[in-house]
Amino acid sequence: MTSIIAEDVLLLGYHEKTGQPTIGSTELNAGLAGAILAELAIRGRISLADKKVVVTDSTPLGEPELDGALERIAAEAKIRKPEWWVDKLEGAKLRQRLLVRLVEGGVLSEEKGKILGLFKTVKYPELDGSVERAVRARVESVLSGAEPDARTAVVVGIMHATKALKKQFPGTDEARVKEITEGDWAGEGVKQAIAAVEAAVLMVLTTVVIVTAVS
């Protein structure tokens, strides 16, 4: 079973059979880092109010990725914005660690190969598809009108920010996405967390596009 929101996002971002990403690397990496921030917020460890990331409780959660990020945020001398942390949490390295965790947990398999006998490739097809199906079922239920929980709302918000939601869930209604991510169903804290992370992911992606275009 998955244990953190970032793993939910990762499973939706990989094709279950080919084991290849279905979301662009930049988008997926930013989304994973954003998921870590959002989970720390909804678990009461950080505040994302006023576009600032502030540690409110440094007590470890007993989850390596979340605790590692919390420790980094607490050790930072300055108060930083969410988009700064989405960049600094290094989504590419985070993705690799999560892939290894999911392989070790029996959720994904790892298939190594070579293209033209020279270039190494690694694929991560699903070994236990029930985990992703459960995530997908929760998201589909919420998109169809069910009351959202904080975890699923964050997944929807991040997938929306990375422009992958409609690709993964065709026919998604924009008005419903807004209800999920901006509604008052779970209190102001969760609402602020989702809004801040979604904005941070979009900011990072926009910056990458501008830099690439200028280059």
pLDDT classification of 104: cutoffs 50, 70, 90: very high
Give me the phi and psi of 172, to 5 degrees please. -60, 135
State the Cα–Cα distance between residues 17 and 34, nearest whole angstrom.
26
State the Cα–Cα distance between residues 91 and 108, nearest whole angstrom.
19
Q: What is the CATH number of the domain that holds 58?
A: 1.10.3630.10
Tokens of 98: 């999560």
Question: How many separate domains does the chain show?
Answer: 1
H-type helices in 43-149, by residue range? 64-75, 82-88, 91-104, 130-143
Query: Tens digit of pLDDT for each residue in 5-50?
Result: 999 999 999 999 999 999 989 899 999 999 999 999 999 999 988 8
Determine the structural domain holding residue 131 and report its residue range.
5-214
Query: Count of CB atoms within 10 A of residue 108's CB?
Result: 27
- Give the chain's mean pLDDT: 90
The pLDDT assigned to 192 comes to: 81
H or E segment to which residue 95 belongs = helix 91-104
